[in-house]
Amino acid sequence: MSATFSDTTPEINIRETDCFINGNWVPSISGKTFSTINPATEEVIAQVAEGDAADVDLAAKAARDAFDSGDWPKMDARDRGRLLYQLADRIEQDIDELAALETLDNGKPISESRYGDLPLVIDCMRYYAGFADKIQGSTVPIRGNYFCYTRREPIGVAGQIIPWNFPMLMTTWKWSPALAAGCTIVMKPAEQTPLTCLRMAQLAKEVGFPDGVINVVPGYGPTAGAAVVKHPLIDKIAFTGEHRTAQIITRDSAETLKRLTFELGGKSPNVIFADADLDAAAMGAYVGLFLNQGQCCCAGSRVFVENRVHDEFLEKLQKLTRDRKVGNPFDPATHQGPQVDQAQFDKIMSYVDKGRAEGATCVTGGHRVGNKGYFVEPTIFDGVQDQMAIATDEIFGPVLSVLTFEDKEDMIRRANNTFYGLAAAVWTRDLSIAHDFARRVRAGTIWVNCYDVFDAAAPFGGFKMSGYGRELGEEGLRAYTENKTVTVAL
Ligand code: NAD
């Protein structure tokens, strides 16, 4: 592990810091702003408009008007698709600048934002651009002399609320299917990372999205976010974040009975059988947890290893982890940048303390790196027991728990012993074990001999308290449509 703090932060032009409403950049009505912070230096990057209920009201009216009276839902679907293709092209054109802006605001290494997140953003947008003119209903044989068919229509105004861990990618997962379906949008980005979402709104304006189709109101969750959830002109909420926030959103949206889709947290099991390719499995455990500073909803934070290969596996995993380079996220050689903010840093360090206090052995890492910025050593706990806090709670940081197992049946029971159900992985050469695991582990995504493989075509979402509904794939598109049945007497 090494730390680099030499200042190679590039000059980045910060332009968009206001609310984007009805095609215009406007300050918040209250005139209030909040600071967005560079987590690598703890310095203020910019002051951003602090939207609240009054700004959300303007945005909701603009989105409603664009939906009810504008051309957007009525537009030839191919033209909607063409605009999405153009936005993807525009993002590709500005890829280096956007990656740098993402790294500045979020702290993720430039190698990840430039070569991981941004290509996924562009691919997802193009995937849904191609779907815009393929949203079909069906004909339904019914009794009597009738012709019955269904139409898939856009749900209306979509309220979208996203977290800070993949700001551009989460924006894209929300915007692309909604726009392809013909919905209009009121988005509330995370208060920690508003800058790339705001830049994307400007790029959408430049490529010609009509006014009012995309609106972005930066601000805090309990004010701006709650106002989106409660607004009567908004039809649906698509939310990614913590399950506790989803519970509040469920209560707050009850009055207006909004359609809800939730992508929430996880405590995903990553299971290594003795017959697995242990080099690949160690790499899978390493990437599966440490990617994005451990701030992934699907992080493989519970690594179960079959007893007889525990020592060999752990040695390989520790070697990879010791070589992990933590430091300046703008250094192309950096593997791990800072956590997103002080609150996340404090939460992670408190779990490191709990792990030690509960009797697990910290075999790698476990400390802060440097004294400026929210850097945490990639950390491995061995000897973790199921009931320990580090094995039950979502830490959302670079802290990996190693547990052991002897018996497959017992391991599957333990893997399922969590109220989360977002993802799981198994490493084995035995096909029957792999398929049995895939069938019996209750999670929305199962990876076999791989981890963190994402594709715009593959649905993603949770079982249990990890959420409901799916993003990506055709299901992700359907979540922005209503089904209408038309019956014609013949
Ligand atoms: P969070 O729930 O605190 O915040 C997420 C968003 O909700 C932010 O924009 C926030 O401002 C807003 N918000 C907060 N309170 C609100 C309220 N009362 N009403 C409306 N909006 C409100 O979550 P976080 O800490 O920012 O993000 C981390 C969480 O997100 C983790 O639990 C992680 O697992 C989850 N996550 C899930 C996925 C997935 O696809 N399943 C992806 C990324 C992150």
3-state SS string for 199-244: HHHHHHHHHCCCCCCEEECCCCHHHHHHHHHHCCCCCEEEEECCHH
Task: Yes or no: say if 71 and 210 are a contact pair by the CB < 8 Å rule.
Answer: yes
- Per CATH, is 269-448 categorized as 3.40.50.300? no
Task: Yes or no: say if 445 and 401 are a contact pair by the CB < 8 Å rule.
Answer: no
Nearest residue by C-alpha to atom 20 in ligand 1:
225
For the CA of 263, the nearest atom of ligand 1? 41
Domain limits, the chain: 19-264+467-485, 269-448
Nearest residue by C-alpha to atom 22 in ligand 1:
221
Enzyme catalytic residues: 263
- Rounded Cα distance, 468 and 260, in Å: 8
Nearest to 103 by CA among 332, 287, 290: 332
Cα(242) to centroid of ligand 1, in Å?
5
- Rounded Cα distance, 283 and 265, in Å: 23
For the CA of 460, the nearest atom of ligand 1? 40
Structure confidence by residue, pLDDT tens digits, 322-362: 999 999 999 999 999 999 999 999 999 999 999 999 999 99
State the residue for tokens 């018996």.
407
For the CA of 245, the nearest atom of ligand 1? 2
- Choose one of 56, 108, 117, 242 to mutate for the ligand 1 pocket test, by most ligand atoms within 8 angstroms of C-beta: 242
3.40.50.1970, 3.30.1360.120, 3.60.21.10, 3.40.605.10: CATH of 19-264+467-485: 3.40.605.10
Q: What average pLDDT does the structure give for the chain? A: 97
For the CA of 188, the nearest atom of ligand 1? 9
Cα(295) to centroid of ligand 1, in Å?
12
| Residue 84: per-residue pLDDT | 98
Nearest residue by C-alpha to atom 16 in ligand 1:
221
The beta strand positions in 29-182, using DSSP E, are 33-38, 43-49, 139-140, 146-154, 157-161
Kindly list the distances between the CA atom of residue 460 and the CA atoms of 242, 298, 412, 463, 478, in Å, as whole numbers in the listed order. 16, 10, 21, 10, 13
Cα(344) to centroid of ligand 1, in Å?
13
Cα(241) to centroid of ligand 1, in Å?
2
Nearest residue by C-alpha to atom 26 in ligand 1:
163
- Rounded Cα distance, 424 and 213, in Å: 37
Nearest residue by C-alpha to atom 28 in ligand 1:
241
Cα(94) to centroid of ligand 1, in Å?
27
Q: Is the ipTM of this complex over 0.85?
A: yes
| Residue 8: per-residue pLDDT | 65
- One-letter amino acid at 139 equals T
- What percent of the chain has a predicted confidence (pLDDT) above 70? 98
Task: Yes or no: say if 395 and 348 are a contact pair by the CB < 8 Å rule.
Answer: yes
| Residue 13: per-residue pLDDT | 87
| Residue 9: per-residue pLDDT | 73
The three-class DSSP label of residue 149 is strand
Cross-strand partners of 376:
368
For the CA of 466, the nearest atom of ligand 1? 41
Average pLDDT estimate for 95-115: 98
Task: Yes or no: say if 441 and 412 are a contact pair by the CB < 8 Å rule.
Answer: yes
Cross-sheet strand order for the sheet of 445-448: 361-364, 379-382, 399-405, 302-306, 269-272, 423-427, 445-448
Nearest to 295 by CA among 327, 266, 334: 266
Cα(446) to centroid of ligand 1, in Å?
23
Structure confidence by residue, pLDDT tens digits, 271-299: 999 999 999 999 999 999 999 999 999 99
Cα(272) to centroid of ligand 1, in Å?
30
The residue length of the chain stands at 490
- Choose one of 174, 245, 258, 466 to mutate for the ligand 1 pocket test, by most ligand atoms within 8 angstroms of C-beta: 245
Structure confidence by residue, pLDDT tens digits, 353-372: 999 999 999 999 999 999 99
Cross-strand partners of 405:
306
What does pTM read for this prediction? 0.96
* Stretch among 6-20, 23-37, 243-257 having the lowest mean pLDDT: 6-20
What the block records as the tokens of 325 is: 């380079």
Q: Which residues line ligand 1 (CB under 6 A)?
A: 161-165, 188, 190-191, 220-222, 225-226, 229, 240-242, 245, 248-249, 263-266, 297, 394, 396, 422, 462, 467
Q: How does residue 11 score in pLDDT terms, banded at 50, 70 and 90? A: confident
The three-class DSSP label of residue 271 is strand
Structure confidence by residue, pLDDT tens digits, 209-253: 999 999 999 999 999 999 999 999 999 999 999 999 999 999 999
| Residue 7: per-residue pLDDT | 56
